[in-house]
Chains A and B, each alone.
Chain A
Amino acid sequence: MTLEIKGLTKQYNSQKTGLSDYSITIDKGILGLLGPNGAGKSTLMKIIATISKPTKGSVFLDGKDIVSNPDFIRKILGYLPQDFGVYPNLNAYEFLTYIAAMKGVGGKGLRQRIDMLLEGVNLTADAKMPIGTYSGGMKQRIGIAQALLNDPKVLIFDEPTVGLDPEERVRFRQLIAELANDCIIILSSHIVSDIETIADEVAIMQSGKLITKGDQQDIIRQAMGQIYEVVLNHNEVGDFKMRYKVIDTSRQNDRMRVRYINKDTETVPGSTAISATLEDAYLLLTLNNA
């Protein structure tokens, strides 16, 4: 199964561009989307989910254009939007039955399927409570369950771990790692560690454009030799930040340990080069393309 995106442009108005001539090919496995706010991640996901039409370009799923034939993907799509809601007066069973109907899933096995999904997201005990009484994390888990109702072959998760506690985040990662064997999973998150742990490939976006796509090691390699650490006095940090892109700061006794990007050949005295992480590479690449 392959999702092929060619020359996608989404122009909201003369000033606002969501995507600009965006092309990417996505195969089975997990693709992590990284990018600052407004990079176009949600726009891309909405277009793949067929709820937004591109101004230009096309999206092919196994050679079939889903822009002109959205129902082709809808049958096998699982979508968890960033800021979805629920009907607060329905309980989890009723809500999932409703969503199942939207996806065209029914039959005798539906109830059992819902039971198993609810158990999988740890909501069995609260399944008969109105969803309006759920916490943010529980609603998010309902969202994950609904995305899996129709045995999807294309799964789109827009910021799926928002509101989940650490334990649930781990469970979610395990879950999608299992699912990735036979479907395309597109996952966007601001939490780089979520992507780092599970994504087979990473695509970094900025201003509606694709900056890079590849496996994590390829991307990390692009930041090699440019990430440094230095220990500074508190009063030096402000001035230092003016000159270098600081990635992270942490307290070390009475001083500050500063992790920063240095693209110059000249190094700051006292600095040591350290191995880059995906987060470093992401920050470096978005800085280069700013």
Chain B
Amino acid sequence: MSYILSIVKADYLQRTRSYAFLIALAVTIYVAYLFVPPHHAMYSTLSATGFKGAYNSAWIGYVSALMTTVMLSFYGFLLVNNSIKKDIDTEVGLIIATTPISNFTYLLSKQLSNYLVLCTIVVCTFLVSLVMFYVRGAGYSFILSDFILPYLFFAFPALFVVAALAVVAEVFLGKRNVLQFITYFFLCGIVMSQIATKGNDIPTGFNDPFGLSLVTSSVKNHINTTYHQDIKQLSFGFIFSPQKPFKIFTWNGIDWTGIFIFSRLVWMTFALGLVYFSSFFFHRFDFKQVVRKKKKLMKQFQENQESIISSGGINTASLPPIVTNYSISPFIKTELLLMLRHGNKWVWLLNACLWVAMFLVPYTIAYSYLLPILLFLQVKRWSDLTTKEKTNRLHYFTYASYRPLIRMLPAQILAGILLAIVLSLPLMLRSVFLLNIAAVLNIMNGAVLIVLLATTLGIVSGSSKLYEIFFFLLTYCVLNKLPVTDYLGSMHHGNEHTLTFIILGINIILAATGFLVRSYQTRHL
């Protein structure tokens, strides 16, 4: 047991001592602040048409806990799904593989460290929710259990499952991050739709890892009974809508049932079972399957090894004369090549399908849904743009190269933008045919934005994770029609030009920040 704790502790410290984690924490704290909007705000987090909850302890505690649970279940997965990968990259895994630690113990320790990372964030949002009670102060009495219990029974069990799923995804899908994301969010989508389609029965929690149905059902029943309404569904999440008249109702929380608490234990046991099951398939850092796939390649490689003819070294005098060429096109070519070869080839097939579909489906669908999804599928390619040098320990060469700042970095940015524009081409062509030049400009502006976000966040945080989480949240918001996140300009705004200029301004700030920080980094290794 003590060595599990040692592994968990080391892993936890290693992951939390990074800028990426600190920035993610800071963003989470800000988002937690948004969980409890003022009643006159243009958005709500949990509401029914014409009704809003009074800001008593129960409302703030439960809503904060639920929002934390659901939001963190989504992006928390992205935050922690690289614990085994880290051991592969650093080759610590090879050392671990030679120790007596069992596969299950190793995976369990990874799950627990994932869980600790997520719990750290949960504790922060919990503290913010306490502060929010006084910030939104509506004169209600403070009841601590209204804060503690929902966090205890919603957030902590749900994130235990998320931590386990991150490990399981790494075991079964290896380094195929995009496939991991897709599978995970597909599963989440199924669970969320199950929760949404649940009837009027009192939820037991067995089909709801988040505990969301318990609260929504209680609030809905409370409104329907108190105000003689027939509300079928509540809206949950960051829902933006124009201000309409509303009534404020007082909701005092739920009665915790034994069956619900038992369902949390069942979910946690299920998570442990998944980790145990996956331990039978864990590669233990012996990548036989990779070798098998590359058997032909390796055979050729061995033949080559045998046929090496020792040469007489390098005669520098006979080398062709040096021709200087400071163009950035070779970098752009290599960056494109690296992006092309990055990740699984099946994702390219998916890309191709979506790309073709953008010609065929209705224009608004292509613009509002297919393009954001297609762009998000490239998240790993872009998140690696400025972090791969360090990950692959190649930064010694790039930083010591001739004028890295005005050659390397622009090439990386341009290659990223080129990929984004090629992917957006069907929609841009359709926009041109529709004489919608503003859309073309907005798409290009958006393409530049996501690439600059990738390069700048990568440079500043030194990790690809922050961008991956940010881009995920951005895509999530765009798909949910959150106007403020409309980086591609697919939604209707009051003033189209304002959006274009705002994004342009953000792009300039991002580019300047990226160049400034990289300029410092190139001389301070």
Contacts and interface: CB of A to CB of B under 8 A. Distances in A.
Interface string A116-140: 1101111011100100010000000
B341 A89 contact: yes
B397 A105 contact: no
Interface in B319-350: 319-328, 330-331, 334, 337-338, 341-342
A51 B402 contact: no
A21 interface: no
A121 B320 CA distance: 17
A71 B301 contact: no
B325 A101 contact: yes
A70 B523 contact: yes
A113 B319 contact: yes
B95 interface: no
Nearest to A171: B313
Interface stretch (B76-84, B136-144, B260-268, B302-310): B302-310
A246 interface: no
B394 A85 contact: yes
Interface residues of B, number: 52
A95 to B, nearest CB: 9
A46 interface: yes
A126 B301 contact: yes
B323 A106 contact: yes
B225 interface: no
B363 interface: no
B301 A133 contact: yes
A160 B170 CA distance: 36
The bracket for how many chain A residues form the interface is 35 or more
Contacts of B297: 129, 133
Given A79-B400, A98-B334, A106-B330, A117 B321 contact: no
B360 interface: no
Contact of B314 (A51, A121, A133): A121
B327 to A, nearest CB: 7
A112 B404 CA distance: 25
A170 to B, nearest CB: 10
A146 interface: yes
Interface stretch (A172-180, A252-260, A275-283): A172-180
Interface in A82-130: 83-90, 94, 97-110, 112-113, 116-117, 119-122, 124-126, 129
A116 B307 CA distance: 18
A218 interface: no
A188 B388 CA distance: 27
B294 A133 contact: yes
A50 interface: yes
A87 B394 contact: yes
A71 B402 CA distance: 6
Nearest to A106: B325
Contacts of A46: 525
A102 B398 contact: yes
Interface string A31-55: 0000000000000001001111100
B370 interface: no
B396 interface: yes
B393 A85 contact: yes
Contacts of B328: 101
A71 B324 CA distance: 14
Contacts of B330: 97-98, 100-101, 106
A44 to B, nearest CB: 13
A108 B323 contact: yes
B311 interface: yes
A81 interface: yes
Interface string A177-193: 01100000000000000
Interface string B498-525: 0000000000000000000000001111
A151 B311 contact: no
Among A103, A112, A151, the one with the most B-chain Cβ atoms within 10 Å of its Cβ is A103
B316 interface: yes
Contacts of A148: 314, 316
A133 B408 CA distance: 26
A174 B316 CA distance: 12
Contacts of A100: 330
B401 interface: yes
Interface in B268-305: 294, 297-298, 300-301, 304-305
Contacts of A89: 338, 341-342
11 contacts: A49-B396, A79-B396, A81-B397, A90-B338, A98-B330, A102-B331, A102-B408, A105-B324, A113-B319, A119-B314, A171-B313
Interface of A: 46, 49-53, 70-71, 74-75, 77, 79, 81, 83-90, 94, 97-110, 112-113, 116-117, 119-122, 124-126, 129, 133, 146, 148, 150-151, 167, 171, 174-175, 178-179
Given A101-B334, A102-B407, 16 more contacts: A49-B400, A51-B522, A74-B401, A79-B397, A84-B393, A85-B393, A98-B334, A99-B397, A101-B331, A102-B401, A104-B326, A105-B324, A106-B330, A119-B314, A120-B313, A178-B315
Across the A-B interface, give the 10 residue pairs with the lowest CB-CB distance, nearest first: A106-B325, A107-B323, A85-B393, A109-B320, A120-B314, A102-B401, A101-B330, A125-B304, A81-B396, A85-B392
